[in-house]
Amino acid sequence: MEGVTSTWVEPSNTATALLLLGRGSDPATERGVECPGDLPAPSDPDLVARATAAKAALGERVFVLGHHYQRDEVIQFADVTGDSFKLAREAAARPQAEYIVFCGVHFMAESADILTSPAQQVVLPDLAAGCSMADMAALPQVENAWDVLTELGLAERTVPVTYMNSSADIKGFVGRNGGVVCTSSNAKRALEWAYQQGEKVLFLPDQHLGRNTAVLEMGFSLEDCVLFDPHKPNGGLTAMQLRDAKMILWRGHCSVHGRFTLESVNDVRDRVPGVNVLVHPECRHEVVRAADLVGSTEYIIRTIEAAPAGSAWAIGTELNLVRRLALAHPDKQIMFLDRAVCYCSTMNRIDLPHLVWALEELVAGRVVNQITVDTDTAHHARVALDQMLALPGA
């Protein structure tokens, strides 16, 4: 692609609304890749019929994965729904499927490509479906941070741990340097393993999951954690701060979960007496402390399924999932934790027109938007993923 320079322009209200709905693009933060060929119009009344026909024509040759945060119009065509790691493993368990159509975001499709066989091809219906959190930790930045630790004599005592929500490059870096991948549900086990290997952890890319796990589950203090800012010399930290730290947190966060505040929690408790506040561990530390229950996406779903009729729940996670849970459990009062709605704008880019386009192209024998990870990166990323699978209780 040709190099592109851009000048910041304050977006209009309409442009912002379109971005949140997945109909616009932000060239400063997204890949902004357009689909070649003819993308069906969102107003096409035959979209559901076209998707159904294309999927039927492909039969067992295609396996469609749908992340929990996807739109309902897309999730209805998923063969399996789940979080990112569950979906990647499900893809690997379907070797007969030539095509894995991943309705999620870029790093998820990369993980599927790493875990599936070379004969399988992974397709992302819209290449602009990225993850702002994953993009906050670029490989050159992480390598520079490792150089800082090396110069201080700390790298050999530091174990890198990366959240599943990271690029294949970062997973590969972690695998090359003796680290491990974690999910939001096994982060404690991953950190316990890491501290058996070394004295410190470099936790990538979500500061909140790292901090919440270290402090609330492992008994560390907030003073044991420092925040490494890749945009500042030496991460904005002194040599003493890095030497004293047990947890070196990367300055990254989820744009959806990071928006929930302590005020959100207090507000919903004032409005809804007896409400249960249930949040994802990607939320800010003070939000997690104030919540009644904290857990992964799968944990949130299981908790709501098991909750008694008549109970009230304010959930701090992506809106598509919260709305789906509310519709599935009309006997319970289920609401979004924040007053303002908030979809994951990049996850929301996978809409029915993109899915129809991708499936119909496969029917025509054209593999579009294929996601591939180079052999060396895939090997080392697989090392880090395999280490996660070898954790006790995995």
Residue list, annotated binding site? 67, 84, 131, 163-165, 184, 254, 280-282, 297, 344
In the block, which residue shows the tokens 């080392």? Answer: 380
Residue type, 308: P
Binding site for [4Fe-4S] cluster, residues? 131, 254, 344
The radius of gyration computed from the CA coordinates of the chain, to the nearest angstrom, equals 21
> Where does the chain show beta strands of DSSP type E?
62-67, 80-82, 99-103, 121-123, 158-163, 180-182, 200-204, 225-228, 247-250, 276-279, 293-294, 312-316, 333-336, 370-371
Name the phi and psi angles at 119, rounded to 5.
-75, -15
For residue 131, the number of C-alpha atoms closer than 13 Å in the C-beta half-sphere is 25
Binding site for iminosuccinate, residues? 67, 84, 163-165, 184, 280-282, 297
356, 123 Cβ separation under 8 angstroms: no
3-state secondary structure 180-195: EEECCCCHHHHHHHHH
Closest CA to 64 of 122, 113, 106, 115: 122
Closest CA to 339 of 243, 248, 392, 266: 266
